[in-house]
Amino acid sequence: MRVWLTIILMVAVVLVVVSWPGKLQEDRVQGLRIVSLSPAITEILFELGLGKQLVGVSEYSDYPPEAELIPRMGGYGEPNIELILRSRPELVITQRISPENIRQLQNQIGPVCRVLVLKLDTLEEIIESMQVIAEATNTSKRGQELAERWQKKIEGLQKRYGNLDEKDRVRVYVEVGSNPLRTCGQGNYMSEIITLAGGKNMGDAATGSLWPVIASETVVVWNPEVILLLGMKRSENFKQEISSRLGWADIEAVKTGKIIELGDAYKRQGPRLFEELDKLAKIIRE
Q: Where are the alpha helices (DSSP H) in the chain?
A: 2-28, 39-47, 81-86, 99-108, 123-136, 140-161, 189-196, 216-222, 238-243, 252-256, 271-275, 277-285
Instruction: Tell me how far apart the alpha carbons of residues 220 and 101 are, in angstroms, rounded to a whole number.
Output: 38
Give the tens place of pLDDT for each residue, 116-146: 999 999 999 999 999 999 999 999 999 999 9
pLDDT tens-digit readout, 65-109: 999 999 999 988 889 999 999 999 999 999 987 888 889 899 999
* φ, ψ for residue 213, nearest 5 deg: -85, 140
Mean pLDDT throughout 226-246?
87
Asked whether the predicted pLDDT for residue 161 surpasses 60, the reply is yes
H/E segment holding residue 227: strand 226-229
Q: Under a CB-based contact definition with an 8 Å cutoff, are residues 193 and 123 in contact?
A: yes
Nearest Cα residue to 42 out of 135, 118, 123:
118
- Burial class of residue 11, CB neighbours in 10 A (0-12, 13-18, 19+): exposed
How confident is the prediction for the chain on average, in pLDDT?
A: 89
Give dist(CA 99, CA 18) in Å, integer: 43
- Compute the 3-state secondary structure of the chain and give helix, strand, coil in percent, each to the nearest 5: 50, 15, 35
Contact partners, residue 278, CB within 8 Å, separation at least 6: 153, 156, 157
Q: Which domains does the chain possess?
A: 26-118 (3.40.50.1980), 164-285 (3.40.50.1980)
Question: Does residue 11 surpass a pLDDT of 50?
Answer: no
86: which residues sit within 8 A by CB, 6+ positions away?
none
Q: What is the pTM of this model?
A: 0.86
Contact assessment for residue 183 and residue 208, using Cβ atoms and an 8 Å cutoff: no
pLDDT tens-digit series, residues 187-235: 999 999 999 999 999 999 998 899 999 999 999 999 999 999 997 667 7
On the question of pLDDT at 25 being above 70, the answer is no
What phi-psi label fits residue 38: left (phi over 0), alpha (psi between -120 and 50 degrees) or beta? beta
- Decide: helix, strand or coil at residue 37: coil
Residue 23 has pLDDT above 80, yes or no: no
Spatial contact of 105 and 115, defined as CB atoms under 8 Å apart: yes
Reference 134, options 70, 46, 9; nearest CA is: 46
